[in-house]
């Protein structure tokens, strides 16, 4: 009997985690029947369709069209719509990734119908429960049957929470599977020609979307003021997340951003283009989870604009550094890198492009 498996995607960081797994499962059509379920948490072309194209994924088998909303509303909508799919389809296993609302919502649905759940990227903890993603991580790990960890700190966190070790599988970092598969293609991206900067000049790459950074005017200004000063020394390329675009409008900061001469504000870009922007950057300023990892793989210094990280290995082994959220601290750290005081790093264990292979092995009887 074939095992029926649902792979869940919903938001931008899910696509590059599920694509390699989808491909690996479909190598064994006699053993697995795999369906791709898209909740529609992210729905803009640039937050969703671009990734299906770049990552060569088929159209989802189910598209739940939940869209945006408050946490309660979005989570409830996903649960209501995905439950119907589960009741109709009765899979043997569902696999969820990361820490977005779609992750926790679908896991809760499945476990209540006694359908086993595997959590990809299990065990990560920022230990800050004010972060919505930390709640999603804790909830999903607590109810999942298979905890697939990207690094050994994940195993340690789960063991410390009393999770039996038979449930924990150190499989490695699946984002790196996608990165390794597509980095040659990404090198050919012409994104830098499209942005109006001299190709010989250095630039720093920026992303910003955490509610704690962009949902208050003071918090956002603290960071934008630092960008303003840093942009006097280096070009800044900023593919801006829709949440941040919205907040800049709400706080009336559009003119301020427009007037920063060397700040190149662009719409969110596809996967190849973003890998290219990362690999060529002098350094990265971000509050993203995944970008802390990708920059470590590329050996590009990363300044993380957050008081904590659920990915400490990017600091202990990689090129990442947390920066205090004060304008002067952000400027100081950036200037240190500009004057070539660069942190070097190593690539952590099992960030080797073979994570999907290790995962599929677990489920092959
Ligand atoms: C979500 C995840 C976050 C992840 C991020 C990746 C949760 C709780 N948060 O945050 O962990 O790091 O995705 O990018 O799941 N919007 C659009 N178009 C879209 C999607 C969103 O315009 O396609 C706008 C809407 O105004 C929406 C806002 O962005 O209200 C926030 O979207 P949402 O999915 O709630 O959270 P993110 O900030 O994207
Ligand atoms: N990314 C992208 N285009 C962009 C910004 C990010 O392709 O304009 C990719 C990035 O390479 C990484 C993932 O999106 O693979 C990270 O997603 P995001 O920062 O939205 O979410 P997080 O990791 O913080 O949850």
**163-194 per-position pLDDT tens digit:** 999 999 999 999 999 999 999 999 999 999 99
**27-80 per-position pLDDT tens digit:** 999 999 999 999 999 999 999 999 999 999 999 999 999 999 999 999 999 999
The CA–CA distances, whole Å, from 146 to 13, 18, 141, 157, 168 equal 20, 16, 9, 15, 6
- Cβ atoms within 10 Å, residue 34: 22
> What CATH topology corresponds to 184-338?
Rossmann fold (3.40.50)
Q: Which residues of 55-85 are buried (b: 16+ CB within 10 A; e: fewer)?
A: bebeebebebebeeeeeeebbebbbebbbeb
Say which DSSP state 93 is in: E
The pTM of the full predicted model, rounded to 2 decimals, is: 0.98
Distance CA 83, CA 64 (A): 11
Which ligand 1 atom is the nearest neighbour of the CA of 48?
A: 23
**3-172+350-364 and 184-338 have identical folds:** yes
CA nearest ligand 1 atom 2, residue: 100
Going from the Cα of 293 to the center of ligand 1, the distance in angstroms, rounded, reads: 20
Distance CA 73, CA 95 (A): 23
| 206 contacts: CB under 8 Å, gap ≥ 6 | 227, 236, 237, 238, 239, 284, 285, 286
Which ligand 1 atom is the nearest neighbour of the CA of 74?
A: 35
Going from the Cα of 290 to the center of ligand 2, the distance in angstroms, rounded, reads: 6
Going from the Cα of 205 to the center of ligand 2, the distance in angstroms, rounded, reads: 12
Domain boundaries, the chain: 3-172+350-364, 184-338
> What CATH topology corresponds to 3-172+350-364?
Rossmann fold (3.40.50)
CA nearest ligand 1 atom 9, residue: 100
Which of 15, 101, 266, 291 is the best mutation target for the ligand 2 pocket, counting ligand atoms within 8 Å of the beta carbon and taking the most? 291
The residues assigned a catalytic role are 209
């Amino acid at each position: 009997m074939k095992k029926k498996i649902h792979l869940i995607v919903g938001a931008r960081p899910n696509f590059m985690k599920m694509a390699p797994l989808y491909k690996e499962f479909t190598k064994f059509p006699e053993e697995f029947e795999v369906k791709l379920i898209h909740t529609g948490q992210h729905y803009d072309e640039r937050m969703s369709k671009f990734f299906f194209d770049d990552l060569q994924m088929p159209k989802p088998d189910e598209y739940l069209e939940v869209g945006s909303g408050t946490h309660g509303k979005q989570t409830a909508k996903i649960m209501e719509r995905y439950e119907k799919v589960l009741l109709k389809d009765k899979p043997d296993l569902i696999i969820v990734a990361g820490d977005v609302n779609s992750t926790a919502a679908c896991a809760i649905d499945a476990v209540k119908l006694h359908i086993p759940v595997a959590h990809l990227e299990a065990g990560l903890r920022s230990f800050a429960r004010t972060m919505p993603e930390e709640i999603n991580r804790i909830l999903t790990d607590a109810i999942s049957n298979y905890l697939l960890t990207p690094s050994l700190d994940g195993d340690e966190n789960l063991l410390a929470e009393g999770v039996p070790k038979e449930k924990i599988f150190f499989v490695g970092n699946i984002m790196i599977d996608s990165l390794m598969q597509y980095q040659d293609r990404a090198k050919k991206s012409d994104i830098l020609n499209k942005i109006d900067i001299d190709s010989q000049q250095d630039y720093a790459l920026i992303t910003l979307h955490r509610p704690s950074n962009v949902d208050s005017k003071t918090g956002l200004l603290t960071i934008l003021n630092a960008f303003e000063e840093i942009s006097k020394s280096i070009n800044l390329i900023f593919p801006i997340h829709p949440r941040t675009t919205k907040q800049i409008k709400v706080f009336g900061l559009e003119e301020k951003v427009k007037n920063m001469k060397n700040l190149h504000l662009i719409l969110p870009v596809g996967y190849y283009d973003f890998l290219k922007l990362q690999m060529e950057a002098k350094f990265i300023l971000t509050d993203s989870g995944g970008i802390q990892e990708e920059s470590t793989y590329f050996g590009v210094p990363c300044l993380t604009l957050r008081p904590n990280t659920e990915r400490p290995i990017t600091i202990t082994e990689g090129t990442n550094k947390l920066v205090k959220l004060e304008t002067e601290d952000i400027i100081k750290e950036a200037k240190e890198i500009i004057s070539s005081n660069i942190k070097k790093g190593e690539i952590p264990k099992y960030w080797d492009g073979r994570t999907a292979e290790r995962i599929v092995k677990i489920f092959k009887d």
